[in-house]
Amino acid sequence: MNTDVLAEIREKVDIVELISGYLPLKRSGDNYRALCPFHNEKKPSFNVNRSKQIFYCFGCKKGGDIFSFLMLHEGLSFAEAVRYLADRAGVTLPARHSGQERQRALREKIADLNRLAAAHWRSGLAKCDRARRYLQGRQVAQPLWERFALGYAADAWTSLYEAAKSAGFDDETLLQGGLVKARETGGYYDLFRDRIMFPITDGTGKVRGFGGRAIGETDIKYINSPETALYHKGGLLYGVYQAKEALRRTGVAYVVEGYFDLIAVVAAGIDNVVASLGTALTEEQARLLRRHVSRVALIYDTDEAGISAALRGVEVLLSCDLVPKVIRLPADKDPDDFVRAKGAEKFRAMVAEEVDFLDFLLAVYETDKADVEGRTAVARRGLELIGNVKDELKRSEYLKLFAEKLDMSERAMRAEFAKAVRKRKQEPEQPQRRLSEVEADVVKLLIDRPDLLEQARRTVRLDDVASTSFRQFLELVFLVPNGEEDAGEYLMRRATDPETRATLAGLLMRETSVESADKAIAEWMRSVSRSARQRKAEQLQREIQLAERQGDTTAVTNLLKQKAELVG
């Protein structure tokens, strides 16, 4: 993305105005404040600064610029946020290269087609008594089918095809959009026929694809859109658009498997629910949820497939740093059956009895727990699950808890865990982006004071900075050209990674605690060169030892002289 265009958009869109469209901001000194939309809180720690054009929450440490806000709040990708804001600001985006342009045009055409299809099927439902009776039979009342924009695809071969053609869509778009199939004998026919239609939207409400439930006699109860330029099953959650507010308000997401399960849960009065559009939750879906919630409770069937999907889901949630819970349905019931048979109140009571994943695991293996073989098998499976937790402290707590629950020795469990970890191929660690207080002060000073930045650039060798996150930040700050007026703004433009942006926003909001900036910087530079000298001395010492062993006296004398100079 062209940085000039980003700067132009940033100039034209006022961050206070933008965020005011989503949250009630109140002025407080230089900043505007609100209750943070990204975590639950009673006192506002979400700050927006107009002159710096950034936002930052001191509670959950989320932050960034206008683009970051839309990405976090609306679940947009960076490119989507740019396009949306460019539109709002009246900035023309430069044309991309033709392949990308074609793909974008196709996605747009499919989106238009999906909109038409959804409307076509909605009016199909209004016209068809049989389909409405079917929904009534499944206790889906009118407000619910309206909320989820349900439709009905007629029992006909070319109903949608003809509607789309007369609206001006070509065969190619219909094929690429996955809504029709080509006949071997020429011509096309509708993929969805005699089915209740569920539009699958993304977080912004755009229809990406469809699911269809047959209402007549057929072997295939459900079919979904095939993968298209717009529809990628593992990356979407059914119902997330309707659930967004409730997810954010509660901080919890309930995840069910199917469309009717989701609608049954909503009918029972629980709005913060999404469906995973398949059996097991994918990492992409978990990351989508993480934008809105910190806790996820899985409500899957109790058959074998449901249990293994739940355990797989737990793994994914743990690895995405979400707190997994599992709700145990009675045998042979899915949420839809349960609500219909027992009513909303009983369902809500059951949901309230969520268990953590270790209890779930123990319950699943209840019968195996009796003998040694069974118990060690449960232990292994539990350790596998805990192995997905990235945070070391949390992992340790889980191990302790698990040993207690299983009534096994904690030491044996930790030893077994260490063994399992060694066996597993280690992924390279993500670079940490956290800075210490002193490091943060230094970076902040360098951003605020161009003269100090120039001095630091001359004096400090980045190789001598031991902390990785600090070095990465200095590298970034050192990119600010001499004479740049607003280093903060410049850096926000350069930083692409969301975590770096958030940390940066935190720095820009920071009231530096250091009394005298010059003194602090000078002290820091001295300590940097001190540790650099020390490292050089250690290096020379190793070389001296080597030369001594080889009996190279000339080299030894030489190196000793260098070392003396260094220390002196």
Among 20-28, 38-46, 304-312, 433-441, the segment contacting Zn ion (CB under 5 A): 38-46
* Distance (Å, whole) CA 477 – CA 466: 17
- Pick the closer one to Zn ion by CB: 55 or 398: 55
59 lies in the site for Zn ion, by CB under 5 A: yes
Cα distances (angstroms) measured from residue 554 to each of 293, 550, 558, 566? 67, 11, 6, 19
- Pick the closer one to Zn ion by CB: 33 or 233: 33
Helix axes 304-319, 372-386, angle to 10 degrees: 40
Residues 362-391 that bind Zn ion (CB under 5 A): none
- Pick the closer one to Zn ion by CB: 59 or 498: 59
- Pick the closer one to Zn ion by CB: 57 or 452: 57
What angle (nearest 5°) sits at the alpha carbon of residue 408, between those of residues 402 and 410?
A: 70
* Distance (Å, whole) CA 181 – CA 226: 11
Among 53-61, 112-120, 160-168, 547-555, the segment contacting Zn ion (CB under 5 A): 53-61
CB of 35 to Zn ion, least distance (A): 9
Residue 231 DSSP SS3? coil
- Pick the closer one to Zn ion by CB: 59 or 306: 59
Q: What is the DSSP string of 403-459?
A: HHHHT--HHHHHHHHHHHHHHSPPPPPPPP----HHHHHHHHHHHH-HHHHHHHHHH
Among 16-24, 52-60, 104-112, 454-462, the segment contacting Zn ion (CB under 5 A): 52-60
* Distance (Å, whole) CA 31 – CA 16: 9
**Which one of residues 57, 256, 264, 329 is an interface residue with Zn ion (CB under 5 A)?**
57
CB of 429 to Zn ion, least distance (A): 26
CB of 518 to Zn ion, least distance (A): 34
Among 7-15, 31-39, 84-92, 133-141, the segment contacting Zn ion (CB under 5 A): 31-39
CB of 294 to Zn ion, least distance (A): 11
- Pick the closer one to Zn ion by CB: 38 or 169: 38
CA proximity to 88, closest of 80, 100, 78, 77? 80
* Distance (Å, whole) CA 106 – CA 140: 35
- Pick the closer one to Zn ion by CB: 120 or 248: 248
CB neighbourhood size of 436 (10 A):
11
Residue 320, CA atoms < 13 Å, CB-side half-sphere: 23
CB of 63 to Zn ion, least distance (A): 9
60 lies in the site for Zn ion, by CB under 5 A: yes
* Distance (Å, whole) CA 234 – CA 282: 6
DSSP single-letter state for residue 167: T
CA proximity to 460, closest of 475, 445, 447, 450? 475
Give the distance, in angstroms, between the CA of residue 312 and the centroid of all CA atoms in the same chain.
Answer: 18
38 lies in the site for Zn ion, by CB under 5 A: yes
Task: Say if residue 310 is exposed, middle or buried (CB neighbours under 10 Å; 0-12, 13-18, 19+).
Answer: buried
**Which one of residues 7, 8, 14, 39 is an interface residue with Zn ion (CB under 5 A)?**
39
CB of 287 to Zn ion, least distance (A): 18
Residue 517 DSSP SS3? helix
CB of 69 to Zn ion, least distance (A): 12
- Pick the closer one to Zn ion by CB: 60 or 91: 60
CB of 36 to Zn ion, least distance (A): 3
CB of 247 to Zn ion, least distance (A): 15
CB neighbourhood size of 17 (10 A):
12
36 lies in the site for Zn ion, by CB under 5 A: yes
CB of 494 to Zn ion, least distance (A): 25
Instruction: Please state whether beta strands 295-298 and 252-256 pair in parallel, antiparallel, or not at all (unpaired).
Output: parallel
314 lies in the site for Zn ion, by CB under 5 A: no
249 lies in the site for Zn ion, by CB under 5 A: no
72 lies in the site for Zn ion, by CB under 5 A: no
For Zn ion, the binding residues (CB under 5 A) are 36, 38-39, 57, 59-60
